[in-house]
Amino acid sequence: MKLENLGKISILYVEDDKTIQAIFANILKKFVKNLYIAENGQEGLEKFNKFNPDIVITDIQMPKMNGIELIEEIRKKNKSIPIIITTAFNNIEYPIKAIKLGIDGFFIKPIEDIQGYLRNLEEKAKNIIAKKENRKKSAIINSIMENFFDVTFFVENKKIVTLNKEAKNIIEDEDIEYFLKKVTPKIELEKLKKEIIKYNNNFYAITIEEYLQNQFIIIMKKLQ
């Protein structure tokens, strides 16, 4: 079973039963990048604030602060972090409250399907990493679009994903497909090296960075 994405994330594991905690902590430590362990909700909240983990796994019935109270506090700070509860279902009221607070899953104790448990975490880790990459890409694109005063395009799979104001001005009267046919095939042919490509009598284009396969930026400068 491949768990390559788990190795890139951090998990906060909150469990007051020391036997259960030891068993699952030993399992998780083998796969995750960072594992933070807490014995009750209060300690869990402190470690959540300190370490900002990617996933929270918490028991429900605990001293000092129970799992529901912990989830309520976490949701005040982070609406989207995946939260998984572990419960013996002694009281159906708690899982129902947790679901209303927007948990992302639950496991009934004792957890016997360890592989299923890990597969579930791996899938969540995969989604987290994809979202992080998208946020990173968006931040880079937005920064470029805000700070480059030359004509700038972000191209993905031969489609313009976004463009700045200067770019809109030069192609507002021109078919975008024509622009892509004229410019991007030449860039691909040169394997995205920093090659100057003449676009028309007024502009030349130059790629500045390839991000992923079929994703790159085109900067167009006016010819002097």
H helix or E strand, kind and range, residue 191: none
Calculate the average pLDDT of the chain. 80
Looking at the fold, whether 10 and 33 belong to one and the same domain comes out as yes
Domain-ending residue, one of 77, 109, 135: 135
- pLDDT tens digits, residue range 125-150? 999 999 888 887 777 777 766 766 67
Same domain, 17 and 117: yes
Domain count for the chain:
2
For residues 20 and 121, membership in a common domain is answered with: yes
Domain final residue, candidates 88, 104, 135: 135
First to last CA, the chain: 58
Q: Is residue 194 a part of any domain in this protein?
A: yes
Is residue 140 assigned to a domain? Answer: no
- Burial-class residue 130 by CB neighbours within 10 Å (0-12, 13-18, 19+): exposed
Domain harbouring 20, CATH code = 3.40.50.2300
pLDDT at 111: 86
**Domain assignment present for 141:** no
**Same domain, yes or no: 105 and 69:** yes
**Cβ-based neighbours of 53, under 8 Å, separated by 6 or more:** 9, 10, 11, 12, 34, 36, 47, 81
Domain membership of residue 102 as a residue range: 6-135
Together in a domain, 161 and 78: no
- Find the range with the poorest average confidence among 26-40, 164-178, 188-202: 188-202
Residue 143 forms part of a structural domain: no
CATH code of the domain containing 189: 3.40.1840
User: At which of 135, 158, 180 does a domain end?
Assistant: 135
142 lies in a domain? no
Q: What angle do CA 23, 25, 26 make, to 5 degrees?
A: 70
Q: Is residue 28 part of a domain?
A: yes
Same domain, 24 and 70: yes
Query: pLDDT higher for 182 or 51?
Result: 51
